Structures are given as C-alpha cells and as structure tokens.
C-alpha cells in the first residue's frame, strides 16, 4: 500500500494542476476503485486536496508548509504527540514557557518526561480519548515564578501523513481575559453598590430639594458677604485666565485696585519664569482637578509676594469649564524665614559633616535621629541602614534607662564618659563620649560626639599587664638565683671538709653546672628584661617570622608560612615567642623536616598555628611545658612566651598528636588582629 501511495504522490507531483481518478488509474495501471481508495486516503491524511469540476473530481497534492514552520508561527503553546503519547514536536513558545529544550523531550513518552507533573491522571485519560477522535477543551491554571496564569487547553485529534493517529495539545493564554473577567465582576459589584447608595442619596436629595432651594438665596448672600470680608485673598478667573472677581484682600496684597485687577490676565501678575508652570496649573483646572500650591506673585511696586494658592475649577450646570476659583494666603514672611533657616541649616550641616568626630543625635527611646559622615564611617553603616538604628545596636554598655536619665538630668549641661561601640562588621572599639541634651522641635534629645580610643585603651591595658609581668619575672629570677647560690655554697662547704676524698672531682663538676645555670638565668633575664616596657604595636606575622628565620639555623628543614597579610597587636618581644616555637621544634622534635605556620578563622577570633612533623608532645606534658622550670633546657622559653602573648590577651596551647608532631595554637581576639590593605580578607 505504501508503494502505491508513493507512486500516486509522485504522479500528482508531476501534475500540479491535478488529475482525475480515471487519469491516475490509467497512468498507474490500477483499477478505478483502487485508485479512488488511495486518492481518498491521501485526502483524509491531509496529503492531497480535492476539487470538483462539474461531475469530475480533481486530485492534487496539498500545498503546505513543513509542520515545524507552521508551529513556530503560532504564539500559542503547542505540543504534538503520537498514538502512544510520545512527544513528536513542540513549538518555540512551548519550549520557552516550560524552560525545556527540544532535545530534552522529543521522543520521550509524555508521562515519563519532565512535563508529566503538569498533567493530571484525568487529562492523560482525555488524551487517549482524543486519539479516538474526541477533542476536548477546558480551562487550565498554572503557578509559575509566583504568578498564576490561565490557559485554554485543547486536545485536538490529528492524523500524520502516514495515516497514523496523533493528538495536538494547544495552550491558549487567557490570563488577561481571566483577570479582566474578575475585574469586570468586581466592577459590576462595586457599581451595583454605588447605584444602591446613589439611589438612597437621591431620595434624600429629593426630600431636601425644596428646603435647599428656599435656602439658596440666603446662602448666596451669606457667601458673598463672607467672600467680601474674608481675611484670605479670593479671586475668580474665566476660561481665558482673565480676572473676573477679586476681593479686598487680593487688592491689599498685590497693591492694585479692583478696577485695575478686573479684566486683566492672571499672567500679568506673575514673573516670566513662572508662566509655564502657571499654564500647566490652569490646564489641570480645565481637566477638573483641584490643588494647593505655592506661587510667587509680582506686586504693583515690583516686589515679590509669595502666596499659598488653593484653586478649584468652576463649572456650569452642564459640567462645562467656566473658570477657576482661588483662595490665596500671603506667606511672604514665612518664605523669608524658611530661606534664612535653610542657609543656617546648610552652615550647621557643613560643620557637622566636616567634623572628624562621630557625631550623632538620639531620642529618649534610643533611636538614631541625626548623624554625620564620620559616624557612618566609624560604625561601617550606610545612611539607609543608619535610619533604623537604635543605641542598643552599637553601644554595648549604654542602656536605654541611662539615656533617659541623662536627658532628664538638669544638673549637668555636658557629660563625658567612656563606653564600647559594636561596629557593623562585628568588631568592637572603645570610645570617649561627650554628650549634652538638646531640644529639637520640642523634643528632648541627646547630642553626642564619639572619639575612638581603642588604641589608647589597648596601650593602657598592655602597660598594666606588662608591669605585672616585669614584677613576676624579677621575683622568679631573684628566687631561682638565690636557690642556686645556696646550693653552690653547700657544695663548697662539703668540698672543704672532704679534701683528698675521691669524690672531689664530682663535687667540682656540680659546682661548674650550678655556675652555668646561674649564668644562663642571668642571660635569660637580660634578654627578657624589656617585656612590656614599650606599648604593644601592630606586627605583621609573616615579617616577624621572616626576621627570626634570618638569624636561625634551620638547616634543611622546610619552613612554610601561610599567614597572608595577617597582623596582630602584640608586645615588641613577639619575635622571641616565634623564635622559641621554632627553636623548640628544632631542639626537641628530633626528626622534624617541615614547620608549617598558618591561620584560620573561628567565629570572630583568629587561630595562629605553628605545626611541625616531629615526635610530638605527650598528653601529660601539653600544659606542663608552659610552667616555669619545665623542660630540658632553661625551662623558661614557653613559660615566658605565654606571658608575652597574654599582655594583649592572646592565649596559647599545644594541640598536636604524639608521633605526628607538635602544634601550638595562639587564639587572638577580634580586637587584636587585622589584615593589611593588600589582603583579600
């Protein structure tokens, strides 16, 4: 059959004007019934068209565009499935909406594709019915990217060229129609309600019409009396902006008589640069809108007069525009004061913003009301963020009750105190506050100026700790030297009594050892006599270690430094700490081939680590190595390393594993570390 159909299509292709059944039957040597059957099959599948000329039926090939081209021309979402519901084609609109590519879905069965979740079981059943020739149309709602969209989904039976059944799914976007329908229903409901209200109001108006009509004349007289005697300027202009009425107040403000005002155009009393805005305002009135605005007028003597204008359109009974009604209040004095205040405000704002102190103003509830640029820089907030800040967001010590107490206190005009500020990035800084109460717009507020004293406080605290360390070092050294001298005296005494004894040589050796110990302790005291004498400074870790390595004999050991631009706030003897850590690895690690220095963040702190691959330190000695006198050498190296670090609050501990190497970790608080400008931190 396929062969015969191809032959018929070939002969029709050669004869684009068409052939009759007899002509096809004759040319292909088919009987008439068979030729008619095949031609009708081509017509049914859409591959051929039929045209009747009298009693003759003329068949010719359909002139069609490729399916893909037709689909791409449609704005609706279109999906084509074969009889087994495998996806055969989808247009660009469909692929774009569902965010899929043709390669992802073509050739896949619909219920096993990424599109399956968009179809219900009932819809799958209806698709199968459509294959049998029963098309269906129904509404379909879809949620996508937080928005609801409505489609008219159509299942349309189709036949492929080969005659096999298929089904097309068309999604017609009816979202706007749905929204319009909902809006229309709401509008009908609103209008119905309005009509009911209007009807009730109309009934009341009818009942009061006679009373109003009788009072109209009296009201008109009262109105004219009010207009004439009002303390506000009132004038009326016609559609051409010509003055048709002006009360006495207008003549008093502008310096013209009524005769000089009536008939003149309103623009005659304005400055040339204000004419365009005046015409815009009058156009607004023509459109039926009222408004209030400030306008600059020119008096008869040429001086400037500012007025607050409240203007409304005037319409006749037919609703036609007949002019504008304006009430005018002289605000010349107010505008002059505003100008003076603006100049003063700019002057004070300049003083405020150029100050290097962090100036801020808070109300009785602790809310930040005003600030300068230095305050934003001090805390690290933007102006938008600062607008919602409360004193508790940045001051760690000042409470809301203290703010109120200082506002209510009338005994001291200005107060000074120290507190601690919490910056946006989480860091803390010590500040000195100078504050006084001020009244702004009738509200009592606290005006404060903050100055960063963090470095000063660090220096003060470090000096206190250093003095303590010096005292401790002096006491320890003195005590140990006295003990060693006592032993030396004892050995010498024994030596005197045992002259000629065979133990003489051993006693002499012990005396020499004691003398060496005394010498070592004295040298050690000289090296560390400057602990805490000078205030701590910011030191770059990498530079300090490099300085130590320049004088240390590390042999073939590899030193890896991965500290970036980390800087720490430490005593000037911090290099001695690093020297001791490296020397301990070289002296006691036995098989050390590498020393690794690195850091890591832990919350707001930084941990600086010295790690080697030697034999490590036994668990029972991890804390004892920091005690005075412990160890195989002087017994003071790690003890004083801990004391030097403690001057700026840095702690040290050993966390390595026996057999894998020693690891010394120094924990540095957020106030005692920072990163240089070239750091990527």
Break the chain into its structural domains and give their ranges.
2-61, 67-173, 230-336, 355-452, 457-527, 537-675
Third-level CATH fold of 537-675: Heat Shock Protein 90 (3.30.565)
**Is the CATH number of domain 230-336 3.30.450.20?**
yes
**CATH number for the domain whose boundaries are 2-61:** 1.10.10.10
The length of the chain in residues reads: 681
The answer to whether the beta carbons of residues 452 and 429 sit under 8 Å apart is yes
* Euclidean distance between CA atoms 208 and 214, whole angstroms: 10
Place of tokens 């870790």: 541
What is residue 521's predicted lDDT score, i.e. its pLDDT? 62
SS (H, E, C) 350-400: HHHHHCCCEEEEECCCCEEEEECHHHHHHHCCCHHHHCCCEHHHHECCCCH
Grouping H, G, I as helix, E, B as strand and the rest as coil, residue 629 is: coil
* Euclidean distance between CA atoms 541 and 566, whole angstroms: 6
The answer to whether the beta carbons of residues 67 and 89 sit under 8 Å apart is yes
The fourth-level CATH superfamily of domain 355-452 is PAS domain (3.30.450.20)
Third-level CATH fold of 67-173: Beta-Lactamase (3.30.450)
The answer to whether domain 230-336 and domain 537-675 are alike in fold is: no
What is residue 493's predicted lDDT score, i.e. its pLDDT? 66
* Euclidean distance between CA atoms 650 and 392, whole angstroms: 28
What is residue 634's predicted lDDT score, i.e. its pLDDT? 59
CA angle 619, 621, 622 (to 5 degrees): 70
Nearest to 566 by CA among 596, 545, 551: 545
Ramachandran quadrant class, 55 (left: phi over 0; alpha: psi -120 to 50; beta: rest): alpha
pLDDT in tens, 383-442: 899 899 998 899 888 777 777 777 676 544 677 888 899 899 988 888 988 888 888 888
* Euclidean distance between CA atoms 49 and 2, whole angstroms: 19
What is residue 335's predicted lDDT score, i.e. its pLDDT? 87
What is residue 652's predicted lDDT score, i.e. its pLDDT? 95
The answer to whether the beta carbons of residues 640 and 528 sit under 8 Å apart is yes
The answer to whether the beta carbons of residues 494 and 527 sit under 8 Å apart is no
Question: Which residues in the chain show pLDDT less than 70?
Answer: 1-2, 45-46, 63-73, 161-163, 214-230, 347-352, 354, 407, 409-413, 466-468, 470-475, 477-479, 481-483, 485, 488-533, 631-635, 677-681
What pTM, to 2 d.p., does this model score? 0.34
What is residue 679's predicted lDDT score, i.e. its pLDDT? 40
* Euclidean distance between CA atoms 323 and 239, whole angstroms: 5
Interhelix angle 2-14/21-28, rounded to 10 degrees, is 110
Query: What dihedral do alpha carbons 242, 245, 251, 253 form, nearest 10°?
Result: -80
């Amino acid at each position: 059959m396929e062969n015969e159909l191809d032959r018929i299509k070939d002969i029709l292709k050669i004869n684009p004007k068409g052939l009759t059944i007899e002509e096809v039957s004759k040319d292909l040597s088919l009987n008439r019934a068979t030729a008619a059957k095949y031609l009708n099959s081509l017509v049914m599948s859409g591959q051929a068209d039929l045209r009747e000329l009298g009693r003759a039926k003329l068949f010719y090939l359909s002139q069609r565009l490729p399916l893909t081209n037709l689909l791409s021309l449609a704005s609706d979402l279109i999906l084509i499935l074969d009889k087994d519901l495998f996806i055969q084609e989808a247009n660009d609109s469909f692929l774009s909406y569902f965010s899929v590519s043709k390669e992802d879905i073509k050739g896949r069965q619909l219920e096993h594709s990424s599109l399956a979740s968009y179809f219900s079981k009932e819809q799958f059943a209806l698709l199968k019915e459509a294959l049998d020739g029963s098309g269906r149309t129904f509404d379909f709602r879809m949620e996508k990217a937080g928005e609801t969209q409505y489609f008219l989904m159509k299942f349309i039976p189709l036949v492929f060229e080969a005659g096999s059944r298929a089904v097309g799914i068309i999604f017609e976007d009816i979202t706007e129609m749905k929204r319009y329908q909902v809006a229309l229903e709401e509008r009908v409901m609103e209008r119905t309600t309005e009509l009911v209200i209007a009807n009730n109001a109309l009934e009341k108006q009818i009942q009061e019409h006679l009373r109003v009509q009788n009072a109209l004349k009296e009201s008109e007289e009262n109105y004219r009396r009010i207009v004439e005697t009002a303390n506000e300027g009132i004038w009326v202009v016609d559609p051409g902006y010509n003055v048709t009425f002006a009360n006495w107040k207008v003549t008093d403000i502008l310096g013209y008589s009524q005769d000089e005002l009536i008939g003149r155009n309103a623009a005659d009393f304005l400055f040339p640069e204000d004419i365009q805005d005046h015409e815009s305002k009058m156009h607004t009135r023509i459109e039926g809108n009222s408004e209030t605005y400030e306008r600059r007028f020119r008096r008869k003597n040429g001086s400037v007069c500012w007025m607050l204008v409240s203007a409304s359109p005037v319409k006749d009974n037919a609703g036609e525009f007949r002019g504008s009604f304006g009430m005018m209040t002289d605000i010349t004095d107010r505008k002059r004061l505003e100008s003076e205040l603006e100049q003063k405000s700019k002057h004070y704002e300049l003083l405020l913003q150029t100050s290097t102190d962090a100036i801020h103003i808070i109300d009785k509830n602790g809310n930040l009301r005003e600030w300068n640029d230095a305050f934003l820089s001090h805390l690290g907030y933007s102006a938008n963020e600062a607008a919602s800040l409360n004193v508790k967001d940045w001051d760690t010590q000042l409470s809301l009750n203290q703010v109120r107490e200082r506002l209510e206190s009338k005994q001291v005009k200005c107060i000074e105190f120290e507190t601690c500020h919490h910056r946006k990035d989480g860091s803390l800084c010590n500040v000195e506050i100078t504050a006084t109460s001020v009244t702004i717009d009738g509200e009592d507020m606290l005006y404060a100026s903050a100055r960063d004293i963090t470095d000063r406080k660090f220096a003060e605290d470090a000096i206190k700790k250093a003095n303590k360390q010096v005292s401790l070092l002096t006491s320890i050294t003195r005590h140990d030297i006295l003990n060693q001298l006592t032993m030396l005296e004892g050995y010498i005494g024994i030596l005197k009594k045992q002259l000629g004894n065979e133990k003489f040589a051993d006693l002499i050796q012990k005396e020499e050892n004691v003398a060496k110990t005394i010498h070592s302790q004295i040298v050690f005291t000289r090296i560390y006599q400057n602990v805490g004498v000078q205030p701590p400074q910011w030191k770059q870790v990498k530079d300090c270690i490099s300085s130590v390595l320049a004088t240390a004999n590390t042999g073939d050991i590899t030193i890896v430094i991965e500290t970036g631009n980390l800087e720490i706030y430490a005593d000037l003897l911090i290099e001695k700490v690093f020297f001791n850590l490296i020397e301990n690895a070289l002296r006691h690690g036995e098989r050390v081939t590498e020393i690794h220095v690195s850091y890591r963040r832990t919350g707001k702190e930084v941990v600086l680590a010295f790690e080697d691959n030697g034999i490590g330190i036994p668990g029972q000695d991890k804390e004892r190595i920091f005690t005075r006198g412990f160890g195989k050498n002087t017994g003071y190296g790690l003890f004083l390393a801990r004391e030097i670090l403690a001057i700026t609050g840095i702690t040290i501990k050993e966390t390595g594993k026996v057999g894998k190497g020693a690891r010394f970790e120094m924990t540095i608080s957020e106030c005692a570390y920072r990163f240089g400008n070239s750091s990527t931190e």
